[in-house]
Amino acid sequence: MPNCLVIEDDAETRDYVCDGLRAAGYVVVAEANSRDGARRLLEAHWDVVVLDRMLPGQADGIGVLEQLRARGDDTPVLILSALNSVDERVRGLRAGSDDYLSKPFVMSELLARVENLCRRAAWSRDVSLLQVADMQLDLRAMRVTRHGHPIALQPREFRLLEYLMRHEGQIVTRTMLLEGVWEYHFDPQTNVIDVQISRLRGKIDKDFSPPLIHTVRGAGYVLSAAPADGQAAP
Amino acid sequence: MARPHPSRGHGRRGRLSLRGSIAARLAIGYGLLVAAAMAALSAIVYFGTVGVFERSIDNKILALQTRLAASSLDDGRGALVREIEAQLHDSVDSDTEILGLADAGGRLLAGNLAAWGGVPPLDDAGAGRLASASMARAGAPVSVRLAAVRLGDGSRLLVGRDLAELDAIRGVVERALLLSAAVSILLAFFGAQLFRARLEARIGAIRRTTARIAAGELSSRIGVHGEDEFARLGEDINRMLDRIEALMDGVRHVSNSIAHDLRTPLGRVRNRLDRALQAAVDPEALVADARLAIEDIDGLISLFDKLLQIAALEAGGRAGSMAPLDLAAIARDMTELYEVAAEEQGMTLAYDGAPATQVQGDRDLLANALASLIDNAIKYGRSGGRIDVGVRLQDGAAVLAVRDYGPGVPAVDMDKLTRRFYRVDHSRNLPGNGLGLAIVAAIVQLHGGTLALRDAGPGFEAAIRLPAER
């Protein structure tokens, strides 16, 4: 069970985050200021840290993060911030955060990103062949097969599928897809990502069984051999 | 200038004291300047008239003394006595000349002195020395100018002049100067009053207007007459008021729109939850309703996010994330991203333009702006079946244009499109919140560019013009 440290001064947000993470199966410890947070970071190993950008105490969230990275500690850190601007995001990432989420946020987005950070080790592993159920994706040959049948994909569809397969069984949000596949960070206004997914689905799921891409209502998508709990039918 | 006093509140502060009035101070200061100029002028006039006269009298006295002393030296005392008598009877300045010759014993030998004893003691050793004195002449004391010298034979010669005439001239000049000083001080004082009345009348009009505005009458404006400084000040204030009124209208419009835009989805959420409670026996329906309610609330959150984004963009705190980038690459990426969505709507979306165009900007924001424009084109230009995206260099600027071939936008709406929450009538039934173009406009403004919206006949074109990077 992954353990997670939450450093957040606002009691309401802290409870909301902690409750959500606990419900998703994390072991959660919460601190309300940068001094206690920094001490906790020294005490134990954490699988993931959720860190508020603005904190009371000597250092703010960025300061805590910089100290952590200065020690050579690469614990995954997600910055939470009310400062909704790309500039702030860039500053957070530059200070060594692994992801950035601005308030207000929906729990599903936070959970998807925290889970993504916990599994980062798998993501960075150098592989040339990804496999989910009967689907294989060959990164070297740029080839996708299902049940041995080759499937023709556009380059971007290939990258989209690769991203989903690398995050197998894990919810990915629309914003995460836009960031991970198209490398743009903004809130896509309409269903532009949904349309891309539905096109991809038409190619990999339509003529095969079982369906691999599942829609998670109000959150995003998950690619897995079996639909997980709380997921709506595709 | 009266210092504003908090307890006095706004508006009526009464008539300013003479010291407190800038007009009075200006006028008095100006009056003092005039008085100083007058004083300088008076000094020049005084010394130019009275002074010259005095010097001329002194010269005449000395010249006569020299001549008489010389004649005594040449021809003896008898000649000197004759010379003095001749001088006193030549009817040239005879009534003002004072001459006297006395022997060593002080006995008068010649001249028009009553007695030597009446002559003030003079340092008669120094030829050329002059002294002012007062002496009795014809029974009255007069001021005189005198020079005395002891001659070789021990006798003493006195040459002088009666200054009655000079005193008269001096009196006239001094009276004239005093009078003009008094008149100039009076003029400065009354001028100050006049100045003050004029200035207060002009400023009063402005103050009455600002008082009306402070009282809430925002549409009040200052009457502008003529072209002087006050007219210009009035125009400037009126321009500022126009701007403030427009901003206030904007704020009112935005808050009204927020209230309106929140009512509908909040009502929907409320109804859903209400229904969910009634059907609480069916857990599946409860879950479904709760989900829909959350979706609606997410929509509201994203609406607020967008408003905050516009506010942040307009505050302009993003200059730090600007970097050189290829606008055409962003345009191609966004075209590719939206291609499938356009196809779903039976439209073709294509990029046609320069292969690479460097500008200074924020990659995510520019992509966001372009995504909004393409999104609009898909939503509102659907009937046209086609969308063109292009980047071109035009007169040193990079122009990113998105054009659809749909019904376009009525001319009356064109200028209002970038207003928050503004929606063209026939599009109200389509999903959207009227913030897309407001965000685009804010992004473009942050980049120092311009956003041009025009009817492309057929269709609608939005063009973002950014300074090109050299």
ipTM over 0.85: no
What value, to the nearest 5°, has the Cα angle with vertex A142 and ends A140 and A146? 115
Q: Which among A81, A176, A42 has a CA at the least distance from the CA of A119? A: A176
- At residue B283, the pLDDT reads 79
Average pLDDT rounded to a whole number, residues A66-85:
84
Q: What are phi and psi of A140, to 5 degrees?
A: -75, -50
Alpha helices in B215-228 (DSSP H): none
Q: DSSP states of B404-446 as a string?
A: E-SS---HHHHTTTTSTT---GGGTTSS--S-HHHHHHHHHHH
Which residues in A lie closer than 8 A to residue B436 (C-beta atoms)?
189
For chain B, domain boundaries: 16-212, 229-315, 319-467
Alpha helices in chain A (DSSP H): 11-23, 34-43, 61-70, 86-94, 107-118, 120-124, 155-166, 174-177, 192-204
- At residue B14, the pLDDT reads 56
> In Å, how far is A29's CA from the nearest CA of chain B?
27
pLDDT beyond 80 at A229: no
> In Å, how far is A103's CA from the nearest CA of chain B?
9
- At residue B98, the pLDDT reads 85
Q: Which among A136, A153, A229 has a CA at the least distance from the CA of A197? A: A153
Which residues in B lie closer than 8 A to residue A102 (C-beta atoms)?
305
Angstrom distance (rounded) from CA B317 to CA B300: 25
What residues have CB less than 8 Å from B137, skipping those under 6 apart?
B98, B144, B162
Q: DSSP states of B227-270 as a string?
A: SSHHHHHHHHHHHHHHHHHHHHHHHHHHHHHHHHHHHHHHHHHH
CATH architecture of the domain with residue range B319-467: 2-Layer Sandwich (3.30)
Domains along the sequence of chain A with CATH: 3-122 (3.40.50.2300), 126-223 (1.10.10.10)
What residues have CB less than 8 Å from B332, skipping those under 6 apart?
B351
Of all residues in chain A, what percent carry a pLDDT higher than 70? 91
Angstrom distance (rounded) from CA B261 to CA B300: 9
A155 and chain B in contact, CB less than 8 A: no
Which residues in A lie closer than 8 A to residue B379 (C-beta atoms)?
190
**What sign does the dihedral B5-B8-B12-B15 (CA atoms) show?**
negative
Low-confidence ranges of chain B (pLDDT < 50): 1-12, 125
pLDDT (tens digit per residue) in A82-128: 765 556 777 788 888 888 888 778 788 899 999 888 887 555 556 78
B320 and chain A in contact, CB less than 8 A: yes
- At residue B389, the pLDDT reads 96
A90 and chain B in contact, CB less than 8 A: yes
When CB atoms are compared, the residue of B309, B321, B341 closest to A90 is B321
Please state the pTM of the whole predicted model: 0.62
Cis peptide bond prior to A210, omega within 30° of 0? yes
B249 and chain A in contact, CB less than 8 A: no
pLDDT (tens digit per residue) in A165-219: 988 888 899 989 998 899 898 877 668 999 999 999 999 998 888 899 999 877 8
> In Å, how far is A102's CA from the nearest CA of chain B?
10
**What sign does the dihedral A96-A97-A99-A103 (CA atoms) show?**
negative
- At residue B143, the pLDDT reads 84
Is-contact A158 A165, C-beta < 8 A?
A: no
pLDDT (tens digit per residue) in B297-349: 878 877 887 887 787 777 765 555 788 999 999 999 999 999 999 998 999 99
Q: What are phi and psi of B196, to 5 degrees?
A: -65, -45
A189 and chain B in contact, CB less than 8 A: yes
A116-155: burial string, b at 16+ Cβ within 10 Å, e else: bbbbbeeeeeeeeebebbebbbeeeeeebebeeeebebee
B291 and chain A in contact, CB less than 8 A: yes
- At residue B319, the pLDDT reads 55
